[in-house]
Chains A and B, each alone.
Chain A
Amino acid sequence: MRAPASNLPLVFDDVSLSAGATTILDRICLTIGLGAPTLVLGPNGAGKTSLLRLCMGLLNPTRGVVSWGGRIGGGPERRAILFQKPVMLRRSVAANIAYGLAHAGCPRGLRAQRTEELLDSVGLSALASRPARRLSGGEQQRLALARALARQPEILLLDEPTASLDPAATRFVEEIILATAHSGTKIIMASHDLGQVRRLAGDVVFLVHGRLFEHADASDFFDRPATPQAAAFIRGDLVL
């Protein structure tokens, strides 16, 4: 599952995104390479989700260019995103995974076995035949994570996957994320939870109001924040 060097670095070259008169992302210049998870940090409305959607190719920049490994447009085939509120297809838990596998090009004969493996990896084997929409919030997140992993992604984008989960469920999801990162998948994950960023991040992208304030190694970011906004956010002050 190791990401071929050819798809990284992911480069945002002077990227802006607007909706009507509202600027959502403002002239972002950013390079994300291989390695430990990149955490996108910032208060609500900072543009974290939009940044991930640009990475997924679900949005196009209003100006500027997003490139993968030096190539503009397209982007890697094997990338997946976990939305903050993932959609559960109106079918069983196992059928949700099988659907993801089918559309990731998994041969029909392998799907049943892969479905079992994926459900096992997120601890949902016992609920395989349950309707997906009947699961709890935490279980739905795990199912959506397994469905994203069904794509065997080189790049996995996660949008606050633990925002509404209790600590036990959060730990479970974080463990899966770390295991996925160790197996070579590049993780780019939005969060506004400082503790989580400390636990998971290799590097931190800090956004406020659509502007990039810092991109640094996690230890540098926490020990020596370069901007007053980042320092305030780390202290727990409100960043306006």
Chain B
Amino acid sequence: MSETLTAWQLIASGDATLFAIVGLSLAVSLTAVVVAGIVGLPLGAILALTRFPGRAAMVVVLNGFMGLPPVVVGLSVYLLLSRSGPLGELGLLFTPTAMVTAQALLVLPIIAALTRHTVEDLWLEYREELSAMGVGWASRVATLLWDSRFSLVTVLLAGFGRAAAEVGTVMIVGGNIDGFTRTMTTTIALETSRGNLALAIGLGIILILLILLVNATAWGVRVWAVERAG
């Protein structure tokens, strides 16, 4: 009980260590979602609009990769970035950049697969009208992404939720270095095993509040969108 109290005190006092960890976690996960979104949104839309041999297999793989085990993604990126790996020269292992890369890879299939699903539904509705208006291929992608913008916000938030909550990839490629690559989830894992429960609980509370905030935002966006765009 006393640990929980101390945890709240840490939060209330604005403990510098605690908030540095929260800040880094948010920065890493938000950047990862932005990167994954820049690639995943168009990728999903293109996959929704095009028909080519092997497309079905690609859709299945993408859907399957939504459930990629974070430790496996972490391991792959570790092998890529380790000294003897193909990108070892860059010296990125155990840096926030490595964490962003790994989380972006983890979240990319989620964003691309959900975008494909959303855009494909809308494409069925828009197809003839856009063809009749002579809308070119690139414009179709842009139009469908824009017109599903409210659903896609939810998609991005789902990606953020996944990135912010995972431990495996950031632990492996970040190394959980104090003051440099320590995130909320890795700190919770470490401090729990060390018996420093107050900090772990404090971070746990903040993490849950953040996830709730993300979901409340997603909900709010939906309601607002329905009211505004019908």
Contacts and interface: CB of A to CB of B under 8 A. Distances in A.
Interface in A32-91: 53, 56, 58, 77, 80-81, 83, 86-87, 89-91
A134 B230 contact: yes
B128 A90 contact: no
Contacts of A147: 133
A142 interface: no
A169 B150 CA distance: 32
B217 interface: no
A131 interface: yes
Contacts of B180: none
Contacts of A103: 133-135, 139
Contacts of A215: none
B155 to A, nearest CB: 16
Interface string A139-153: 000000001000100
A80 B132 contact: yes
Contact of A131 (B125, B128, B229): B229
B131 A87 contact: no
Indicate the size class of the contact surface on chain A: 20 to 34
Interface string A92-113: 0000000110011000000000
B128 A89 contact: no
A133 interface: yes
B147 A100 contact: no
A6 B148 CA distance: 41
B229 to A, nearest CB: 5
A133 to B, nearest CB: 3
Contacts, number: 47
Contact of B132 (A58, A131, A132): A58
Contacts of B128: 53, 58, 83, 87
Given A131-B228, A134-B230, A91 B147 contact: yes
Interface residues of B, number: 18
Given A87-B125, A91-B147, A133-B230, A56 B133 contact: no
A56 B132 contact: yes
B215 interface: no
A90 B227 CA distance: 12
B228 A100 contact: no
Nearest to B125: A87
Contacts of A133: 229-230
B175 to A, nearest CB: 45
Contacts of A100: 133
Nearest to B150: A90
B147 A131 contact: no
Contacts of A83: 128-129, 132
B143 interface: yes
B126 interface: yes
A87 B126 contact: yes
A77 B132 CA distance: 10
Contacts of B229: 90-91, 131, 133-134
A56 B127 CA distance: 14
B40 to A, nearest CB: 21
Contacts of A104: 133-134
A83 B132 CA distance: 10
A91 B129 CA distance: 15
A180 B228 CA distance: 33
A83 B128 CA distance: 9
A151 to B, nearest CB: 7
Contacts of B132: 56, 58, 80-81, 83
A122 to B, nearest CB: 17
A139 to B, nearest CB: 12
9 contacts: A56-B132, A87-B125, A87-B128, A90-B147, A90-B230, A91-B229, A103-B133, A103-B135, A151-B133
Given A83-B128, A131-B230, 4 more contacts: A83-B132, A91-B147, A131-B229, A134-B229
